[in-house]
Every structure is written in structure tokens, then in C-alpha cells.
Amino acid sequence: MASESGTRGNTTVRPVAFTAKLRMDDSFPSNSGVLKFGTVQVNQGGGYDGDTGIFTCPVNGLYHFFVHMAVYQRGQCAIFKNGEKVVVARHTNLPDTLSYKCSQVASMSSVVKLSENDEVWVNVDGQGPQEIIATEDNDTIFAGYYVR
């Protein structure tokens, strides 16, 4: 059986990775705040909480986080670390464009240096309702993993 931990010098490194999907019921968020990705598919290391939408760092190091979102007309969100914006994604279609009635995609990612217990989450950004969606065919996800 393969080990789930690696060794770096005299230190054992536990792998940390998560992938969580937006639930259909959480589509079209109308308030700013944490966007909760409640369907947790992978949570190696136990850092992601699907109830709060917050990743709490279990191991110091560099992490890669990314968000892939399906959007109708307008979707704005940001990855936050301890209350500070790291990276922002904004997607807007004008009402007269051909793509108005179909979903589009927007993505963002960043490598972030974290210390144990630092928190990372996706925050709905901007004013007014957002058309960030989850459907049977379109997945909106938040994921991250330990790099080194």
C-alpha cells in the first residue's frame, strides 16, 4: 500500500488537496460574503470545510488555489487570504450580446504562501445579485493543493 505522506529531510509532509463544487441551491448568490462550495469531492488533509466554505491551512507552505465558475451575465468573486483579496475574477456580458442566454466560464488562480491556520475562501465580489451558477452540466468549483 502506498504511503499518503512524503518525507522531506527529517520532516514528514502530509498531502493537502481539496475540490468542492457549488451546490445548485447556492447558485445566483445575492449577497456579498463567502461563497460556499458545499459538495466536497476531495478533502485530503481535512483543511476545507464545506459548511463554511473556508479552507484552514493544516501545513505551512505554498498552495495553488483556483476557481472555475459557470456564469450567465454577471459573476464577480475573489479569492481571499485572512480577509485580504489575493486575486479577483469578473465576468460581464452586455445584455445585447449573443451569449446573453447561455452560460460562460470564468477562472482565476493564484499560488499563495500560507502558515498553519491561515484561512482562504472565495468571496462574492461586487454589488447586486451575481449569476454564478451550478447546474447538472456546468460545474463551478473551488480547489486547492499543497505545492511545497
* 70: confidence class by pLDDT, cuts 50, 70, 90: confident
Is it the case that residue 53 has pLDDT exceeding 70? yes
Instruction: Domains for the chain: give ranges and CATH numbers.
Output: 15-146 (2.60.120.40)
| Mean pLDDT (the chain, rounded) | 82
Q: Is the model's pTM score more than 0.85? A: no
* pLDDT tens digits, 81-137: 999 999 877 666 655 555 445 566 778 889 999 999 999 999 987 666 777 778 776
**Is 91 buried (19+), middle (13-18) or exposed (0-12) by CB count in 10 A?**
buried
- For residues 96 and 41, the model is more confident at 41
